[in-house]
Amino acid sequence: MKSYLSIIFIAFVLAGCGQPGEGPASGQTDISSAETADEFVARANAELEELGRELGAAGWVRATYITEDTAVLQSRARERYAKWHGDMVQQALVYDGQDLAPETQRALDLLKLGTSLPTPAEPSKRRELTQIATSLSGMYGAGKYCGSDGDCMSGTELEGLMQTSRDYDELLEAWTGWRTIAPPMRDKYARYVELANEGANELGYGDLGEMWRAGFDMSPAEFEAETGRLWGQVKPLYDELHCHVRARLGEVYGEDKVPQDSPIPAHLLGNMWAQGWGSLFDLLEPYPGVSDLDVDSTLKTKDYSPQEMVRSAENFYVSLGMPRLPDTFWERSQFSKPADREVVCHASAWGLDGGNDLRIKMCINQTYDELRVIYHELGHNYYQGAYKEQPPLFQGGAHGGFHEAIGDTVVLSMTPGYLEEVGLISSAEQGEQAVINRQMQMALDSIAFLPFGKLIDEWRWAVFSGEVSPDDYNKDWWDMRLQYQGIAPPVERTEAHFDPGAKYHVPANVSYTRYFLARILQFQFQRALCETAGHDGDLHSCSVFGNKEAGAKFQAMLEAGQSAPWQETLEKLTGTREMDATAIIDYFAPLMAYLQEQNEGRTCGW
């Protein structure tokens, strides 16, 4: 996961993986007293189509050429978009209270929510905020840690070390070292919060967090309650997983370092942010060697190029009846890290020029984890390509979680049977032990991620509302990570640090709740698609690879974009208007039974 973005997120553009654009300050057009709401929406769509080209190009160049010059270009492009957006929102207020067609009213509502970073109307403040936003994302992208030996490591290199090392002290140095990039962001971030809240106030919202929560076709309070309800459905499974992982880490590192009645030290979970624990699978494999899904070896033995790995993912989508990616995708994407310049390696998918110019941006390595990320990212690209015929204001996911869930759903179909069929493993044994092994591997990523996915924005909501002041940024960050994840920093952290800034999505201003929702929706989507495909058996054994009927139903949902409330779009695919995490519980039933058996006699909780 990643999913992973170096761009300003605009709700009606790439649902989190590319970016819309800005262009000429066309918002200066005066609204005519004779202009109807329908005419205004048509004008907004036409102008937005043009604006998208410039901001998309500026964002791409900034992400793939990190220099002072590209920072200026992106800041100015964002500034022009911000002015256009602010002007158009003010003009749209003329139509408040009018009896409008549903699609017109929806377009106006989405226009008002058309940025994740509303800027103040005052030009100097607007420019200041866009410059801060560009600076923060650039600081993250160029971040390095230089050890006492003088060797410097990028974030990607440090992430790789965190995944592979089992040396307590080495992990501690990498963990603390990466976080040295964040303190210089702290004052900038506090000012960013002030200015962004001012921009949200001018659009009629109490703060930026309230504005973000308003983008889910329900009130901000209802949405906050909804995320809490979904977390409650899956928390029992997470608690069992946490208990088992802590016990195993205690065996590896000693209970003096991993006490069995305390939170898990954050640097021991195989990930820089303890957001996914999949790298610990070698320590936690329930039945070692049983149906080993050693895709890494195949990728290396057959020497898959980055492009060949992407072709593998493309072939899956094509098997569902979807089109091949355009030639420009292969010509313009970034598949590998260039040797001659700084780039943002965080994986992202881009639907530039209104979805007519699809691209992926990654620094691909020959690993199964990277392959799954590719399958995920192409889900964004296929969504972007599917809804490109919608008006620009409707070009986006039904809600942000939908956009992330498309590729995640496809990843669920990467079953052992599928991997064997396409030559990525040699055997697809499906006995009970093999199932539990596979589910453990999956849960270490998807289930371990859920509380982290929820808390990132919950922390920011508290920051934006003023409930958490700049004086307590780090304290409340770690309080929340303890509450939800049951982890703690391995060394003392104070307000001299700014650990939230060491997570890409915070300095890059990318809302995170959609990743949490995606983890819920992917299993709900998969259950519906498997029913459509006529799958007979346990949900975890289903792959819809090659099933055109399931693909047609999937494609119909993608083509709708955000033209209707997400509840309607969800109902068309799943038969229900409510997000539902019970599919996760169904899917992982074998693992839950195993974990409960393993945890008998242990002290769980923290």
Q: DSSP letters along 526-567, please?
A: HHHHHHHTT--S-GGG---TT-HHHHHHHHHHHHHTTSS-HH
The SS3 call for residue 468 is: coil
pLDDT tens, residue by residue, 195-208? 999 999 988 899 99
What pLDDT is stored for residue 33 in this prediction?
54
Q: What is the rounded CA–CA span in Å between residue 456 and residue 477?
A: 9
* Highest mean pLDDT out of 3-7, 19-23, 118-122: 118-122
In a domain, 30, yes or no: yes
Q: How far is CA 220 from the centre of its chain?
A: 20
Pick the more confident residue, 406 or 113: 406
What pLDDT is stored for residue 450 in this prediction?
97
- Name the residue range of residue 112's domain: 26-219
- Would you say how long the chain is, in residues? 606
In a domain, 197, yes or no: yes
pLDDT tens, residue by residue, 154-164? 998 999 999 99
In a domain, 480, yes or no: no
* Per-residue CA distances from 575 to 158, 379, 403, 562, 572 (Å): 44, 22, 19, 18, 6
Nearest alpha-carbon partner for 382 in 428, 327, 462, 324: 324
Q: What is the mean pLDDT of the chain?
A: 91
Q: What is the mean pLDDT of residues 435-448?
A: 94
Q: Is the pLDDT of residue 86 over 90?
A: no
Those residues with Cβ within 8 angstroms of residue 36's Cβ, 6 or more apart along the chain or in another chain: none
Q: Is the pLDDT of residue 7 over 60?
A: no
pLDDT tens, residue by residue, 110-131? 998 878 888 898 999 999 998 9
In a domain, 269, yes or no: no
Q: Does residue 444 come out as left (phi exceeding 0), alpha (psi in the -120 to 50 range) or beta?
A: alpha
What pLDDT is stored for residue 203 in this prediction?
85
Q: Is the pLDDT of residue 606 over 80?
A: yes
What pLDDT is stored for residue 75 in this prediction?
87
Q: What is the mean pLDDT of residues 273-298?
A: 90
3-state helix, strand, coil in the chain (%, to 5): 60, 5, 35
What pLDDT is stored for residue 21 in this prediction?
30
What pLDDT is stored for residue 17 in this prediction?
41
What pLDDT is stored for residue 6 in this prediction?
29
In a domain, 61, yes or no: yes
Q: Is the pLDDT of residue 58 over 60?
A: yes
Q: Is the pLDDT of residue 15 over 60?
A: no
pLDDT band, residue 228 (cuts 50/70/90): very high
pLDDT tens, residue by residue, 489-529? 999 999 999 999 999 999 999 889 989 999 999 999 999 99
Share of the chain above pLDDT 90, in %: 79
How many domains would you assign to the chain? 1
pLDDT band, residue 429 (cuts 50/70/90): low
In a domain, 354, yes or no: no
What pLDDT is stored for residue 90 in this prediction?
87
Least confident of 245-254, 283-292, 293-302, 442-451: 283-292
Q: What is the mean pLDDT of residues 399-411?
A: 94
- Nearest-Å Rg of the Cα atoms of the chain is 23
pLDDT band, residue 13 (cuts 50/70/90): very low
**What are the catalytic residues?**
346-347, 376-377, 380, 404, 505, 515
Predicted TM-score (pTM) of this structure? 0.84
Share of the chain above pLDDT 70, in %: 94
pLDDT tens, residue by residue, 536-593? 999 999 999 999 999 999 999 999 999 999 999 999 899 999 999 999 999 999 999 9
User: Which strand (E) or helix (H) includes residue 155?
Assistant: helix 155-164
What pLDDT is stored for residue 81 in this prediction?
87
pLDDT band, residue 19 (cuts 50/70/90): very low
Q: What is the rounded CA–CA span in Å between residue 108 and residue 191?
A: 29
In a domain, 543, yes or no: no
What pLDDT is stored for residue 2 in this prediction?
34
What pLDDT is stored for residue 121 in this prediction?
87
In a domain, 465, yes or no: no
What pLDDT is stored for residue 313 in this prediction?
97
* Per-residue CA distances from 96 to 92, 109, 148, 376 (Å): 7, 10, 61, 39
DSSP 578: S
Q: What is the mean pLDDT of residues 352-378?
A: 94
Q: Is the pLDDT of residue 63 over 70?
A: yes
Q: What is the rounded CA–CA span in Å between residue 34 and residue 495?
A: 56
pLDDT tens, residue by residue, 249-262? 999 999 999 999 99
pLDDT tens, residue by residue, 130-176? 899 989 988 998 899 998 888 899 998 999 999 999 999 999 999 99
